[in-house]
Amino acid sequence: MSTPVASTDRQALWKQEMDKARLRDANFTTISGTPLAPVYGPADGEQDPDENLGLPGQYPYTRGVHPSMYRGRLWTMRQFAGFGAAHETNQRFQFLLKAGQTGLSVAFDFPTLMGYDSDDEISAGEVGQVGVSISSLRDMEALFEGIPMDQVSTSMTINGPAPIMLAFYIACAEKKGIDPKALRGTIQNDILKEYQAQHAWLVPPEPALRMITDVMAYCTEHVPQWNTISISGYHIREAGSTAAQELAFTLANGMEYIRRGVAVGLDVDDFAPRLSFFFDSHLDFFEEIAKFRAARRIWARKMREEFGAKDPRSWMLRFHTQTAGVSLTAQQPENNIVRTAFEALAAVLGGTQSLHTNSMDETLSLPTEKAVKIALRTQQILAEETEVAHVADPLGGSYFVEAQTNRLEAEAEKYFQEIEARGGVVPSIMNGFFQLEIHKSAVKYQRAIEKGEKRVVGVNCYVEDDGGPTIDIHRIRSETEVEAREAMARLRSERDPQAVERELTAIRTACHAGGNLLERFIAAAHAECTLGEIAQVLREEFGQFQEPKIL
Amino acid sequence: MNQRKIRVLIGKPGLDGHDRGAKTVASVLRDNGMEVIYTGLHKTPAMIAETALQEDVDVVGLSILSGAHMELFPRVREELHNRGLDHVLLVGGGIIPADDMAALESNGFTKLFGPGTHTEDIARFIQGEMEKRWAKEAADA
Amino acid sequence: MNSQQPSLAQGLLAGQRGALARAITWAENADRRFPQLLEDVYAAVGRSHRLGVTGPPGAGKSTLVNQLARHLRELERTVGILAVDPSSPFTGGALLGDRIRMEERTLDPGVFIRSMASRGSRGGLARATVDAFDVMDAFGFDQLIVETVGVGQAEYDVVGAADTVLVVLCPGAGDGVQAMKSGLLEVADVLCINKADLPGADRMVADLEEAVHIRTAGKGLWMPPVVSVSAGTDQGLDGLLEAIQSHRAWLEAEGRLQLSRQEQRLDQVQRVLREGFDHAIWEGRGLEGYARAMIKASRTPHGAAERILEQLKAALPSEWAQVQEETQP
């Protein structure tokens, strides 16, 4: 048995040894560039666990939103999918449901995301390329052919035209005789981050926010199980932000939606429980876990203390996670399976409610079926084989993780103050504040990789001159666009032109006279107005958004 | 007295909004002494070519991540050609499969850069090409 | 290559946009072919009205220029725009992003937009701005507009380049006070309060009107109108165009425009001469060696420079002084 040593002596001894130690030539910072100590101790850990941590399912939810966490229910394995025409994506959905996936997630192509029909001239070359093309109620019906819409939950990643797409979905269910009250799912509908990072907008911020409050108001009454906004940090991070910026900007956007809802007279507890979040899980394992924990704590406090929410469901930050697309490399693409697995583990240890794992080939093209299956199996291995899902917040109390959680919370708070000083979220968008912050971080990270300060296997170390990737590539059939044009021509000739005109005029009027626009879009969907036609009315009435100059 | 600078247009044709790469490359080229015009997002091939004309750029660099490169890249080239801008050094980047890169490189694009390319390599490539072209111009004169 | 010069000039005069673009490049690069080119087209210079737009960063200059161009197009006037952005003093590179706010104008055949890097100039314009204006003028635009760098420093070169100077300010951030202190007010022919829907706009208009009045009243000077606009919503743009037009009319009324153009040209002569002189005396004339020798002979830098200057002055032709006297009133 060794003699006990006083802790101050231990520290002095350790310091001495550290000073002598020869260290690796590496950059000891988080992936976001924050310096890290060689070891963390009790003084760095959470000093007031009762106040700041609690237990899972307890305010401020640092440790998770459910008391039982994954013992009650595993996270939802939700692979984002979509390509080509609606019937092709429908087949991929059927394949995923058969492979054991528990929710659907629709990826749209760029014309759809920007509010253009598949037969619009501007859509040429892009129809069905990075997601499915949906221009009408008919397309939506083909997408959900044979899928029980009252039983699956569906997530739709679309923002600018989100209210129109949701109208197609609701109209599709109505046509199948399903009560919209039975519909479960999420529409991303997070326009603020579009201006900041993802750039698929339709109209300027103010009218876009009005449509969002229309969606919140309509769904509260008619589609009560629907998540009306998925407030997304994912795209902010993928555009190059740090973890702290992702956290801060996303939550700032969330608070802006709350303010807007309250401003139009909604009770915060009526709509806040239907807001969910969506984060990136990047490669810095501990920083990411700390980010998820900090997000829950900040949101709970803001909701209760600043916005006076009374319903605990308004305090709980529930979130979807996707592994980091930007962390994937085109070089040695199979390595991406390993990266994704680590990122998925961080999301699960951080307490995510649902998860998308990227496929190894996504820097090359849309994923092949084989790559998608490996990605899904990665989650299943995590859930079934690693035993990590048995214990809630397993890293809670870790000196290091608690210190990182506190640090990220403090950094986010600083950003909240800065945004407020700049007049709020929308003015900060208009003058390019977010965009410039993200751009600066992106350039800094790229520089760090190019200088070798941050290492990427296969890119700046362990490089192989392999003559390029050899894995299979998923290509979109070239006929997709032609077929889509033909389908649109049929639609335009078969529908009732007077009904179309009537509904479009009603929308035009409602843009200025008020009234719920989602309600109008649903009527227009039934009249077979197309996405592009409705979007064009909005562009004409509300104007277009112009990017601020940040470069 | 000659104060010639390499002028570059960074263009984003098509509807995708992923401008991280385009903006990063623009910043790096600036840091390498070039004058860089960034078009902003969602530009048509005609707008990019017209901007190249008015700005009298030496280089047009296109970035696309929507999979529409085989449609849009050749259309930009065509629009440049229609304006008598065949002399412009045309390069591109994005998520582009190797076969497509090869096809574009034999069709008017001097070089395509894939994911993971060092931005400094792009700058060096452009500088090298322009030095060659200017040397040839001087010799011809 | 001499055969190329007339062909570029001809192309430019024939309305080829590519030729205009190349001509501006020559101006920017101080290409040795430029002086001849300018000479070839100079007979066509002098028709365009030249508007300078300046103001602090964030005042919304690019958006305003875009809207001005739109309104002018509605009046079927053609517009040439120069947008100046700063060059990095360290690398010489520049990011030229102003045209991002003018994208709607890109495919309009009646509009030509050119981004210019300041390339070391500190007065808010590029060295070649006036040259570029001249060739754009020769090309035949009705209206020329230059937007200055707008980094918040003193940007007074615009006075020498424009017939009418529009100073754009926006409420808040102490712009008004700053404008009065920095002398922006003195260069303004028209003052424009952009983002007039922001709080404090009315107050700012009143303050500026008072300051303008104090400066100009009863002195026979032009009294710059103060116009409120909201470029984002297009509000007040008609009033702004009217104000610009009324300044132009005032200039043209009593031959002031001619005088002002003469001053602009004198400015231009001085600038070209400064550059050429600098170049001529330092390159290949042994001046550097001479200066070094004098420094060695333990002269102060001032002493050395004074000595060189005296010798240079002595070499100036004496008839210059007589020309000077004859032109004095």
Contact A266, A213 (CB under 8 A): yes
d(CA C326, CA C329): 8
Indicate whether C3 pLDDT > 50. Answer: no
Contact C190, C166 (CB under 8 A): yes
Question: What pLDDT is attached to residue A368?
Answer: 87
What is the DSSP pairing of strand A354-356 with strand A319-323? parallel
Burial annotation A495-514 (CB, 10 A radius, 16+ → b, else e): beeeebeebbebbeebbeee
Closest CA to A530 of A492, A483, A502, A499: A492
Distances in Å between the Cα of B91 and the Cα atoms of A44, B86, C115 are 50, 13, 21
Residue of C nearest to B80 (CA): C18
* Residues of B (11-70) whose Cβ lies below 8 Å from A: 14-20, 23-24, 26-28, 36, 38, 40-42, 44, 66-68, 70
Question: What pLDDT is attached to residue A468?
Answer: 60
Q: Say whether B67 and A366 touch across the interface (CB within 8 A).
A: yes
Select the residue from C101, C195, C235 to test the A interface by mutation, using most A Cβ atoms within 10 A. C101
Q: How far C95 CA lies from chain A's nearest CA (Å)?
A: 6
What is the rounded average pLDDT of the residues C232-249? 92
> CB-based contacts of B121: which residues, under 8 Å, 6+ apart?
B113
| Contacts with B3 from chain C: Cβ below 8 Å | 28-30, 119
**Range of B50's domain?**
7-140
| Contacts with C105 from chain B: Cβ below 8 Å | none
* Residues of C (96-155) whose Cβ lies below 8 Å from A: 97-98, 100-101, 103
Of the partner residues A126, A199, A450, the one whose CB lies closest to the CB of residue B68: A126
Q: Omega of the bond prior to A42 within 30 degrees of 0, cis?
A: no
Of the partner residues B27, B47, B53, the one whose CB lies closest to the CB of residue C21: B53
Please indicate if any CB of chain B lies within 8 Å of the CB of A240.
yes
Q: How far A471 CA lies from chain C's nearest CA (Å)?
A: 38
Of the partner residues B2, B50, B54, the one whose CB lies closest to the CB of residue C31: B2
| Contacts with A126 from chain B: Cβ below 8 Å | 14-16, 66-68, 71
CA angle, A438 as apex, A435 and A440 as ends, to 5°? 105
Q: What sign does the CA torsion over C128, C129, C132, C138 have?
A: negative
Residue of B nearest to C278 (CA): B1
- Looking at the domain A54-450, which fold is it? TIM Barrel (3.20.20)
Task: Please indicate, yes or no, if residue B1 is contained in any of the structural domains.
Answer: no
What is the rounded average pLDDT of the residues C217-244? 89
- Phi and psi of A246, rounded to 5°? -55, -50
Q: How far C86 CA lies from chain A's nearest CA (Å)?
A: 11
At position C236, the amino acid (one-letter code) is: G
Closest CA to B34 of A389, C154, C96, C266: C96
d(CA A464, CA A461): 9
DSSP symbols for A318-334 = -EEEEE-GGG--SSSTT
What is the rounded average pLDDT of the residues B94-118? 91
Q: Say whether C63 and A431 touch across the interface (CB within 8 A).
A: no
Q: Which tokens belong to C230?
A: 């909201």
Contact B59, B80 (CB under 8 A): no
Select the residue from C115, C136, C149, C283 to test the B interface by mutation, using most B Cβ atoms within 10 A. C115
Q: Which tokens belong to C297?
A: 């002979």
d(CA A154, CA A150): 10
| Contacts with A421 from chain C: Cβ below 8 Å | none
Q: Say whether A549 and C101 touch across the interface (CB within 8 A).
A: yes
Direct distance between the N- and C-terminal alpha carbons of chain C, in angstroms, rounded to an integer: 46
For C183-197, write each residue's pLDDT tens digit.
788 889 999 999 888
Residue A150, CB-side half-sphere exposure with 13 Å CA sphere: 10
Closest CA to A174 of A206, A207, A144: A144
> CB-based contacts of C2: which residues, under 8 Å, 6+ apart?
none
Closest CA to A313 of A367, A370, A270: A270
Chains linked to A by 3 or more Cβ pairs within 8 Å: B, C
Residue the block writes with tokens 């430019």: C12
Please indicate if any CB of chain B lies within 8 Å of the CB of A124.
yes
Please indicate if any CB of chain A lies within 8 Å of the CB of B115.
yes
Q: Say whether A550 and C98 touch across the interface (CB within 8 A).
A: no
Of the partner residues C1, C93, C96, the one whose CB lies closest to the CB of residue B33: C93
Q: How far C98 CA lies from chain B's nearest CA (Å)?
A: 9
Query: How do the pLDDT tens digits run along chain A, 551 residues long?
Result: 456 677 788 889 999 999 999 999 888 999 999 999 999 999 999 999 999 999 999 999 999 999 999 999 999 988 888 888 999 999 989 988 888 777 899 999 999 999 999 999 999 989 998 899 999 999 999 999 999 999 898 999 999 999 999 999 999 999 999 999 999 999 999 999 999 999 999 999 999 999 999 999 999 999 999 999 999 999 999 999 999 999 999 999 999 999 999 999 999 999 999 999 999 999 999 999 999 999 999 999 999 999 999 999 999 999 999 999 999 998 999 999 999 999 999 999 999 999 999 999 988 777 888 999 999 999 999 999 999 999 999 999 999 999 999 999 999 999 999 999 999 999 999 989 999 999 999 999 999 999 999 999 999 999 987 666 566 767 777 789 999 999 999 999 999 999 999 999 999 999 999 999 999 999 999 999 999 999 999 999 999 898 888 87
Task: Please indicate, yes or no, if residue B2 is contained in any of the structural domains.
Answer: no
| Contacts with C24 from chain B: Cβ below 8 Å | 56
What is the rounded average pLDDT of the residues C201-229? 88
Mean confidence (pLDDT) of chain C: 87
d(CA A332, CA A335): 6
Model-level pTM?
Answer: 0.89
Indicate whether B51 pLDDT > 50. Answer: yes
Q: How far A460 CA lies from chain B's nearest CA (Å)?
A: 9
DSSP 8-state symbol, C169: E
> CB-based contacts of B99: which residues, under 8 Å, 6+ apart?
none
Question: What pLDDT is attached to residue A350?
Answer: 98
3-state secondary structure A357-424: CCCCCCCCCECCHHHHHHHHHHHHHHHHCCCHHHCCCCCCCCHHHHHHHHHHHHHHHHHHHHHHHCCC
d(CA B52, CA C114): 10
Burial annotation A379-409 (CB, 10 A radius, 16+ → b, else e): beebbeeeeebeebbbbbebbbbbbbbbbbb
CA angle, A534 as apex, A533 and A538 as ends, to 5°? 115
- ipTM score here? 0.95
DSSP symbols for C3-60 = THHHHHHHHHHTT-HHHHHHHHHHHHTT-TTHHHHHHHHGGGTT-SEEEEEE--TTS-
d(CA A22, CA A38): 13
Residue of C nearest to B28 (CA): C93
Q: Say whether B1 and C1 touch across the interface (CB within 8 A).
A: no
At position C321, the amino acid (one-letter code) is: A
Question: What pLDDT is attached to residue A293?
Answer: 98
Q: Say whether C101 and A431 touch across the interface (CB within 8 A).
A: no
| Contacts with A433 from chain C: Cβ below 8 Å | none
Indicate whether C259 pLDDT > 60. Answer: yes
Q: How far C149 CA lies from chain B's nearest CA (Å)?
A: 15
Q: How far B22 CA lies from chain C's nearest CA (Å)?
A: 12
Instruction: Please report the number of interchain residue pairs, chain A to chain C, with beta-carbon separation below 8 angstroms.
Output: 14
Of the partner residues A123, A130, A439, the one whose CB lies closest to the CB of residue B23: A439
Q: What percent of chain C has pLDDT over 70?
A: 91
Question: What pLDDT is attached to residue A479?
Answer: 87
Closest CA to A528 of A117, A253, A126: A117
For C122-179, write each residue's pLDDT tens digit.
888 998 999 999 999 999 999 999 999 987 666 788 988 999 999 999 887 566 666 6
Contact B13, B94 (CB under 8 A): no
Of the partner residues C21, C92, C275, the one whose CB lies closest to the CB of residue B5: C92
DSSP helix, strand, coil percent of chain C (3-state; round to 5): 55, 15, 35
Residue the block writes with tokens 């003193």: C154
d(CA A481, CA C83): 40
Q: Which tokens belong to A451?
A: 């200088």
What is the DSSP pairing of strand A229-232 with strand A275-281? parallel
Chains linked to C by 3 or more Cβ pairs within 8 Å: A, B
Q: Say whether B38 and A551 touch across the interface (CB within 8 A).
A: yes
Q: Say whether B3 and C17 touch across the interface (CB within 8 A).
A: no
Contact A211, A510 (CB under 8 A): no
Q: Say whether B35 and C18 touch across the interface (CB within 8 A).
A: no
d(CA C200, CA C231): 17
Select the residue from A232, A446, A459, A547 to test the B interface by mutation, using most B Cβ atoms within 10 A. A446
Distances in Å between the Cα of A426 and the Cα atoms of A113, A257, A290, A417, B16 are 21, 11, 28, 14, 22
Distances in Å between the Cα of B29 and the Cα atoms of A442, A542, C93, C151 are 15, 37, 8, 21
- Phi and psi of B8, rounded to 5°? -125, 135
Distances in Å between the Cα of B27 and the Cα atoms of A115, A443, A546, B103 are 31, 8, 21, 28
Residue of A nearest to C57 (CA): A431
Q: Residue B49's domain is classified under what CATH number?
A: 3.40.50.280
Q: Say whether C93 and B26 touch across the interface (CB within 8 A).
A: no
Which ranges constitute the DSSP H helices of A66-109? Answer: 86-98
Map out the domains of chain A as residue ranges. Answer: 54-450, 479-542
DSSP symbols for chain B = ------EEEEE-BSS----HHHHHHHHHHHHTT-EEEE--SSB-HHHHHHHHHHHT-SEEEEEE-SS-HHHHHHHHHHHHHHTT-TTSEEEEEES--HHHHHHHHTTT-SEEE-TT--HHHHHHHHHHHHHHHHHHHHHH-
d(CA B25, CA A446): 10
Q: What sign does the CA torsion over C165, C171, C175, C176 have?
A: positive
Indicate whether B108 pLDDT > 60. Answer: yes
Which ranges constitute the DSSP H helices of A99-136? Answer: 110-113
Of the partner residues B1, B36, B55, the one whose CB lies closest to the CB of residue C114: B55
- Looking at the domain C45-254, which fold is it? Rossmann fold (3.40.50)
Number of domains in chain B: 1
Contact A392, A63 (CB under 8 A): yes
Confidence band of C329 (pLDDT split at 50, 70, 90): very low
Of the partner residues A130, A365, A442, the one whose CB lies closest to the CB of residue B20: A442
Choice between A533 and C302, residue whose per-residue pLDDT is larger? A533
DSSP 8-state symbol, A65: S
Instruction: Please report the number of interchain residue pairs, chain B to chain C, with beta-carbon separation below 8 angstroms.
Output: 90
Q: Say whether C62 and A549 touch across the interface (CB within 8 A).
A: yes
Map out the domains of chain C as residue ranges. Answer: 1-43, 45-254, 261-318
Please indicate if any CB of chain B lies within 8 Å of the CB of C113.
yes
Contact C94, C126 (CB under 8 A): no
